[in-house]
Structures are given as structure tokens and as C-alpha cells.
Structure 1
Amino acid sequence: MLHEFPACLPWLRDLLRSGLQLLAGGLLLGSCQLIEYSPNQAYVPVRERGQTARNLQLLGAATGTDTVRFVFVGDTQRFYDETEAFVTSVNQQRGIDFVLVAGDLSDFGLTREFQWVNRRLAALRPPYLTVIGNHDLVGNGRAIYQHVYGPLNYTFDYAGTRFILLDTNGREDGFGGRVPDLPWLRRQLADTAGARRTVVVSHVPPTDEDFDPALVSGYTAALRADPRLVFHLSGHVHRFTAGQPFHDGVSYLTTYSLKKRRYHILTVWGARQFRLETVAYGLDK
């Protein structure tokens, strides 16, 4: 039988060649979306787009309560180990409706950074929502953020509370008088249908030098004019602060970055009552 084997070689060679070509073609077609042509590319797979809309759909509507309890934390940037520990800690909490991340999900506005953070935060049991930070606007970050998450300014109602989330990164706009969008903010604050309370969330607080100085007065006046406002929440400064810096009755709170391994749980109910808890996690690492 050995003398028959050489006669099979051409057939075997052709079979192997065609099989390898099919395999190579399959690998090429299957992995073309894995190729990164530039670190600043804005392409995001469809399955990873529109996270804000998806998470709002998961959140749904509160039933039978006017109390909302949510986690509030700041900049994730490149703190990936801390983000994983954060997710583990939040998933151990009870009665959390959703998580608010106050911007700077990335450090350099790169697609891979948004993807790495989203894939970690997607392991949260409650849905999570974000605002855009100044680091998220680096390079093509604006377009990438809009692909992964959605609008830079948006609102949602939950348990009698209207949450208004907006871009306040004035320096990245060149202090051009357009960011934050005050006409849009005023319209949202004036819309009183279906909400007893208001919470405004941004990345840069109006007390910071990265906030457009020409818009501070108009911004704070708009908040002051809303009798439903519970507080204003921000990130950016990587630490917790709380107070009324403009002496107008409006409370401004900032929160920790994930590097600090701390976050807040805020509970809001009644007219404008709220309670703040601080959770520390993994500090022995």
C-alpha cells in the first residue's frame, strides 16, 4: 500500500491549500473589526454603541415610590483595577437604582479606553449613566463618547426626580460661551411636568477654573431659580466637597475618582430631602 501514497500527494496538497485559503479568509473576515488602524479611530462595534439609551431602558420607571437611591462616583480614567473593585463593591449593595459616573471615563479620549471601562462597568447589576468629562474630549473623544454612550446633554425622570446631565467642559470649547448650553439647561429646568425634584449632574463644577468663567453667573442663576433643585453633582476634582459656594442656597457636591477607592450613595425623597453615605472599598490593597 505504501506505493499508492505518492499518487495521493497532489490531491492532498490541493486539499490542504484550499483548506488553508478558506481558513485564512475566515480569519480575515472575522477579525477585520479587531484591527486598529489608528489609536484615534472612532469606530465602535454596534454591540457597544448607545449605552445611555440601553441603560435607561434597563432602568425603566420606578413604581410605587418617590425615593431614589443611587451611587455617585467620579473619574475612572485608567484606574481599571479600581473600577473592577468598585463594581464588586456596588454589586454587594442593596436597593441601588442606578450608578452615576461623573465623566472622565477615559484619559486620552481613545476608543480602547472607552471600551475597557464600559466592559468593566457593564458588570454592574444596576444600570449606569454618565456625563462627558474633559479628558473624554481629547482627540476624537467627543465622537467616540457619542458612539459609545450618546448625547452630551440629556435628561431622564425617575421616582419623581428629573436628572439633568450636561457637558460643562468649557475649556475644551475654548471658553467660547457655548459650553455649558445655558438655553438648553433653562428649558430643562423650566419643564416641571412629571417631576417633583431636580438633580443636575456635570463633570466640571462651576467653581473650577475649567468652567467657562463667562457662563458661571448665568449657570448658577438658572440653578438658583429652580425651587425643585436638590443639589448639583460633579466630578473632575477627584475628591469629596460639599457646600454652598455661591451663598445662594444651592448645594454643590463633588465626588472621588475611582483611584481613591471611595464612592457615595445618595438617597433622595420627599420635597428635597437627601442622605449621603460614603463607601470605602479595597483600601488594604
Structure 2
Amino acid sequence: MNSWYSCGCVLALTSLVSCSLVEYSPNQTHLPATERGLTTQTLAHLQQMPRAAAGDTVRFVFVGDTQRFYDETEQFVASVNRQRAIDFVFVGGDISDFGLLREFRWVHQRLQQLRVPYLTVVGNHDLVGNGRAIYQSIYGPLNYSFRYGGTKFICLDTNGREYGFGAQVPDVPWLRQQLQDTAGSQRTVVLSHVPPTDEDFDPALVPPYTATLRGCSRLVFHLSGHVHRYTAGQPFHDGVTYLTTYSLAKHRYHIISLWGQRQFRLETVTYGPEA
């Protein structure tokens, strides 16, 4: 073999590796530094941005599972970018389908084209295989909270089935502590992937979880994805409203506006081929 040919092959392979185009294993978790800790980066950016809505109103987009809906995600981004006065976008879990690094990155590459920041909560599909480690590397903690525009947002892992229904997930004591810490906020929103009405939620934790939510006088509602459709109601007949949203495959998403003590408005946007 000619020496110039061998050298060319080595250089070409080195170039591919340096550009992160070679994937050694579908289960790898290595990420470039720019794609790690996105939740922390997003929250820091969000706090520095001027508020999009007037007065004390917070206006954000809520949508469910992205999974393998890459074309729909691009259409979703284009639709959201045409909306006005949006503070941020929240994706309600199942960013991936099989917990693969490439899936997370493909979705992030599309969602980072949004004109506003986006945040996520972990879904059951995101925990498959090495998905938990990948999610934590890309986004960060599985349970986190933040304050924005007088609202405290509490985001937590409720994927009980993925932990063998071990009465540990969701972390009810952590949730209770977060709900009690109301300093600097006048209202509270809880976000998760699996709602407590679903069979994938640990049944042993439904009573303490819902009782904890019921005890929060500032709670506006509980938001979830997972079921791929819109539902709204008070299934436990305790005054707590539970909402679920569409997956991206349904070509619909919600714009939620919050203001005052517990006032809110829910708008449905249809995009893409069904618009």
C-alpha cells in the first residue's frame, strides 16, 4: 500500500473522530462540553432575559413526547418561533425513544433553533439502557426547581415503573419540601412526565403524592406528558387540577399563561400538515 494513501486514511479517520462523527457504540455517553448541563445553562440564560409578557404574566409553551418525531419537531420549532411573548418552552419528557445518545442529540439540535430557551423533565423512555446517565449528562438533575416571574416551577421524575415500583420515585419528601418553600413566589406549578393517574406511576406513592399536592394552597395545576393527548380534570376530587398535553406526533401544543394568584389561560396551537 502506498505510504501517501495510508497517511490519507489515517488523517481522514482522525478528522472524523475529532468532529465527533464516529460513534463507537450506540450506548456511549460521551458528550462535547457544549452539550452538557443544559438545564443549568438554560436557567441562567432565562434569568438574564427580559420578560416576554407584560405585568406579572408568565407565558410558556408546553408539549409532550418528542421521541422519534424529528420532522414534527422541526415543524414545532417553526411554529413556536412565530408566536409572540413566549418566555420559554417546556418539553414534558420522552425526549428519546430508546435512551440513545444520538436521539437526545438529534432532538437537541432541532430544539436549540428555538428563539426562546427550552427546558425538560425526564421521561420513562429517557431512562432505558444508559438513558438515565445520558439525560443527566446532557440536561442535569432528574429533580429540580426554579422561580420565574413570581412562579415556582417544580420538575420531577415520576417514572415509577422504570425503578421497579420501589416506592422511591417520585421523591415525595423532596416534593413536599419544595412545595413548602414558597419564598419569592406567589404561585406554584408541578411538572412531570407520568401523571399519577397512569399505570406507570408507582401505585404505592399515589396517595402520599396527591396528598402532598393537595396541601399546597399556591398550586395552580400539575402538568404531565406521557399519554400523548390532552386531558384536564380533577380526578382525585380534591381541588387539584391535572393536565396532560399532546405528543409532537399530534401536531399540537399548548401555550399556558399564568398571572395573579392562580389564574391561567390554556391555548391550543395546531401546526404542520394538520394546520
Is the 1:157–1:163 Cα contact (8 Å) retained in structure 2? Answer: yes
2:118 corresponding residue in structure 1: 128
Matched AA of 1:53: T
Distance 1:25 1:152 in 2: 41
Distance 1:240 1:143 in 2: 30
Distance 1:256 1:171 in 2: 21
Is the 1:241–1:255 Cα contact (8 Å) retained in structure 2? Answer: yes
1:28 corresponding residue in structure 2: 13
Distance 1:120 1:54 in 2: 17
Matched AA of 1:166: L
* C-alpha RMSD of the superposition: 1.6
Unmatched tracts of structure 1, length 5 or more:
1-15
Following superposition, which runs of at least 4 residues in structure 1 exceed 6 angstroms of deviation? none
Q: Does 1:173 align with 2:163?
A: yes
* Paired-residue identity, %: 69
Unmatched tracts of structure 2, length 5 or more:
none
Distance 2:123 2:274 in 1: 29
Q: What TM-score do you get using the length of structure 2 for normalisation?
A: 0.94
Distance 1:66 1:146 in 2: 32
Is the 1:65–1:159 Cα contact (8 Å) retained in structure 2? Answer: no
Distance 1:162 1:59 in 2: 14
What is the Cα deviation at residue 100 of structure 1?
Answer: 0.6
Is the 1:132–1:167 Cα contact (8 Å) retained in structure 2? Answer: yes
2:240 corresponding residue in structure 1: 250
1:199 corresponding residue in structure 2: 189
1:9 corresponding residue in structure 2: none
Distance 2:228 2:257 in 1: 21
1:90 corresponding residue in structure 2: 80
Is the 1:153–1:167 Cα contact (8 Å) retained in structure 2? Answer: yes
Q: Does 1:50 align with 2:37?
A: yes
Q: What TM-score do you get using the length of structure 1 for normalisation?
A: 0.90
Compared with structure 1, are the counterparts of its residues 65 and 20 closer, same or farther at alpha carbon in structure 2 (3 Å cutoff)? farther
Is the 2:64–2:245 Cα contact (8 Å) retained in structure 1? Answer: yes
Distance 1:203 1:253 in 2: 11
What is the Cα deviation at residue 94 of structure 1?
Answer: 0.1
Is the 2:88–2:118 Cα contact (8 Å) retained in structure 1? Answer: yes
Structure of greater Rg = 1
Deviations 1:150-209 (A, max 9, x none): 110000100000000000000000000110001111111111111110000000000000
What is the Cα deviation at residue 46 of structure 1?
Answer: 1.6
Deviations 1:42-63 (A, max 9, x none): 1122221111112112211566
Counterpart among 197, 215, 228 of residue 225 in structure 1: 215
SS in 2 for 1:278: strand
